[in-house]
Amino acid sequence: MPELGVVSGYLLKLIRGSLGCTQVELAERLGVDDNTVQGWESGRRPLSALRAVDLSRLSQRLTLLGAPAVATSLLATAIEADGFLTTAIRAGSAEIPIWENPLASSVHRRSFVALVTWPFTGIVPSTVRHLPIPKGRGPVADRPQLSRAMQRLFFDQMLTSAEIAGHQATLLRRQATYLLAFDDRKESAQWLAREHRRTAARAIDERDLPSGILSRTASLAIARQGDLDPVRHFIQGTLADNNQTLASLTYWAYWLGEIPETFSDDGEMVELGARSWSGHRLIEHLITHLDDPRNAEMNIHSLLCLVMARKELLESDADLRQRTALAIERADTNELGRHARTELANLRFATQLAGR
């Protein structure tokens, strides 16, 4: 199977849309052949084939033409996402040695995973959500295109990776588990249910922070498919421990890019990153996601823990206090469990107290 270029190609299409030009016009501005731009956007000529210096020049040229820098700077990550998709789809259900598996090499961030899952969900990464899709002669796809066969092969590899990871390669197992939540097949739902039962059945040592993060991922994966009980169990069980709570917040700060360093495993990330985040990006994310029906209870709990751990966030910013208070009122619905409603009340009180 040839190298895929669907994610970076579709991102380039959005960048072209931000410039308001056709493929022919963009080709003229870049000084390349019309077929080159068409090949880049379709993935037939993947951008990964460019030398690093040529990709850098392309990004700079697009920015100088007026494209948003936040979009052009994402091209390199989009190419990385294409490479990951290619590796997984080529392998299918066959085993990839752990030392060659990209799921085991580093702790992924939201910016990368949002690009990887874009073809499956159709959810445009937040940093480029405002960019228009340029009009074409016929129907225009609303996402990077992967065939159903390719999608099945990708999730076959996620299942295989999770299984071969066993109980030792925690990072590999956790990151494969997270991605399996985007598969709508019955076998993946059954595997996720077994994984949650496995992680929930044993008491997690307060010093075993990677296992806590694995349990967090398993419960949130089940929540994505509509079952909130595992998340509630995780909040009231594992997150009752302060060390596990701090590890969860640190992971979330890393996930959102608030910790700039890249780490090779979860243990290293929570140990070395714990003191390097302020919580500003995390709190901004949480207050805009308190009404997320699948993640509201985890977000409410995390926000309460955050404002208790970083009291200066609300004490020093009246505007943030006001926006937090409004988010709390919007989140107060009958769908919340009893524990979440209690935490929401505590959060309301903590916000009021911070303004005195």
- How many Å apart are CA 86 and CA 340, to the nearest integer? 41
* Percent of the chain scoring above 70 in pLDDT: 97
Instruction: Look at residue 8 in the predicted model and tell me its pLDDT.
Output: 97
Question: What confidence category does residue 325 fall into, taking pLDDT thresholds of 50, 70 and 90?
Answer: very high
Question: What confidence category does residue 72 fall into, taking pLDDT thresholds of 50, 70 and 90?
Answer: very high
Instruction: Look at residue 328 in the predicted model and tell me its pLDDT.
Output: 93
Do the beta carbons of residue 245 and residue 239 sit within 8 Å? Answer: yes
pTM: 0.91
Instruction: Look at residue 348 in the predicted model and tell me its pLDDT.
Output: 92
- CA angle 286-233-176, nearest 5°? 70
Torsion 142-149-166-232 (CA) sign: positive
Instruction: Look at residue 200 in the predicted model and tell me its pLDDT.
Output: 66
Do the beta carbons of residue 306 and residue 249 sit within 8 Å? Answer: yes
Tell me: the pLDDT tens digits for 89-134? 999 999 999 999 999 999 999 999 999 999 999 999 999 999 988 8
Q: What is the CA radius of gyration of the chain?
A: 22
Do the beta carbons of residue 296 and residue 340 sit within 8 Å? Answer: yes
- How many Å apart are CA 81 and CA 268, to the nearest integer? 23
Instruction: Look at residue 294 in the predicted model and tell me its pLDDT.
Output: 83
Instruction: Look at residue 202 in the predicted model and tell me its pLDDT.
Output: 60
Tell me: the pLDDT tens digits for 169-180? 889 999 999 999
- How many Å apart are CA 74 and CA 62, to the nearest integer? 12
Element (H, E) at 29: helix 23-30
Q: What is the 3-state secondary structure (H, E, C) of 103-171?
A: HHCCCCCHHHHHHHHHHHHCCCCHHHCCCCCCCCCCCCCCCCCCCHHHHHHHHHHHHHHHHHHCCCCHH
Decide if pLDDT at 165 tops 80: yes
Question: What confidence category does residue 355 fall into, taking pLDDT thresholds of 50, 70 and 90?
Answer: confident
Tell me: the pLDDT tens digits for 185-219? 999 988 888 887 777 656 566 677 888 888 888 88
Question: What confidence category does residue 1 fall into, taking pLDDT thresholds of 50, 70 and 90?
Answer: confident
Among the listed residues 197, 251, 204, the one whose alpha carbon sits nearest the alpha carbon of residue 227:
197
Report which of residues 265 and 211 the model is more confident about: 265
Q: Is 256 exposed, middle or buried (0-12, 13-18, 19+ CB in 10 A)?
A: middle
Helix (H, G, I), strand (E, B) or coil at 30: helix
